Amino acid sequence: MQIQDVFRHYGDDLKRVEEHMEMYLRSEVYLIPEVIHYIIGSGGKRFRPLLLLASSSLCGYRGEKRYPLSAVIEFIHTATLLHDDVIDAAETRRGKTSANNVWGNAASVLVGDFLYSKSFKLMTDHGNLAIIKLLSETTNTMSEGEVFQLVKRGDINITEKEYLSIIEKKTAILISAACATGGILGDAPDIQIEALTRFGMRLGSAFQITDDTLDYVAEEAELGKAIGKDLEEGKMTLPLIRTLKKCNPEERSLIKRVIENRERSGQDMAAVMSLIHRYDGINYSLNKAKACIDEGKGFLESFEASEARDALLAISDYIVERRL
């Protein structure tokens, strides 16, 4: 099964998710749906709802609660995008002008807050105590990850272990929760819910590592943001962390100067990019992502063969096969 087959197989279910999202976004305050439609309609693949749908199918659940809870996962994700772009002073998101640049920082933060609060209302309406507990812990951990990343911004002494902790808290935890929610809906045994939780964590880590690596090598049209943007923002991602560990003191000083200098030139950026390639930061990071995927797939071995399991395996392969 290929990724396009997965989207085709779950196409009708994803349409139902979209319908539920549309219904939940109604508000008398016109700015709320205006901002949310702008960011939600800007090219996201509904990757997290897809994982919830496939995981619930894997555990034998095909009931109606899949749709509002998929919307919850997507709303939480969208809220983090709105807040992230304010923190990063981002100018674009998925190839479009970012919401904070169109409506301002205050509107982006407040609409993000609306999405969080809407998510918790939907959880209480359609979830159970286990799901509410899971997603409450998830959003709390995500906030912790955001703060940890902020603390480590521009820190050339950051370790690979600290980086992996940041991406687990910031990104992987929500992907893991999407998978685990499917298991909870299917009333799966604890051992299978735990397997889906761990699968999602490995998948989410691989997703973020790959995304961070693409920032140095992809075409801007494919990535949806300016290449080298993470470096400009002082975000310490794995290709750079690996390079800092391997390079000599003079090269390390160059990287430090470029990260700290707000007036950095294109030549400075190119010099750092060259070092990343010289010390194999790209391949090292992609191999780390592939190792996460391989480990994640192992957690699905406790499930019987099915279309849903094939779908989760195909999604796993797609993450590390995205075009560079």
**Rg of the chain over CA atoms, in angstroms?**
20
78 within 8 A of 102, measured Cβ to Cβ = no
Range of the domain at 22: 3-321
The pLDDT of residue 66 is above 90: yes
Q: Nearest-CA neighbor of 181 among 161, 199, 208, 155?
A: 199
Quick one: pLDDT at residue 262?
65
**Is the pLDDT score of 223 beyond 50?**
no
Mean pLDDT of 92-113: 89
Contact between residue 54 and residue 10 where contact means Cβ atoms under 8 Å apart: yes
Question: What share of the chain has pLDDT > 70, as a percent?
Answer: 94
Please tell me the predicted confidence (pLDDT) of residue 221.
Answer: 45
Question: Residues 11-34: what's their mean pLDDT?
Answer: 93
CATH of the domain at 47: 1.10.600.10
146 pLDDT tier (thresholds 50, 70, 90): very high
Q: How confident is the model at residue 58 (pLDDT cuts 50, 70, 90)?
A: very high
44-57 per-position pLDDT tens digit: 679 999 999 999 99
Contacts of 249 (CB under 8 A, 6+ apart): none
Q: Report the chain's mean pLDDT, rounded to a whole number.
A: 91
Put simply, whether the predicted model's pTM sits higher than 0.85 gets the answer: yes
**Lowest mean pLDDT across 56-70, 122-136, 220-234:** 220-234
Angle 173-185/47-58 helices, nearest 10 degrees?
Answer: 30
pLDDT tens-place string over residues 247-297:
999 999 999 988 887 667 778 888 998 999 999 999 999 999 999 999 999
**Within 10 Å of residue 120's Cβ, how many Cβ atoms?**
17
Report the number of distinct structural domains present in the chain.
1
Show the tokens assigned to 81: 């995008």
Query: Buried (b) or exposed (e) across 257-274, using 16+ Cβ within 10 A?
Result: ebbeeeebeeebeebbbe
Helix locations, 25-128, DSSP H? 31-40, 47-58, 66-88, 99-103, 105-126
Give the pLDDT score at 42: 67
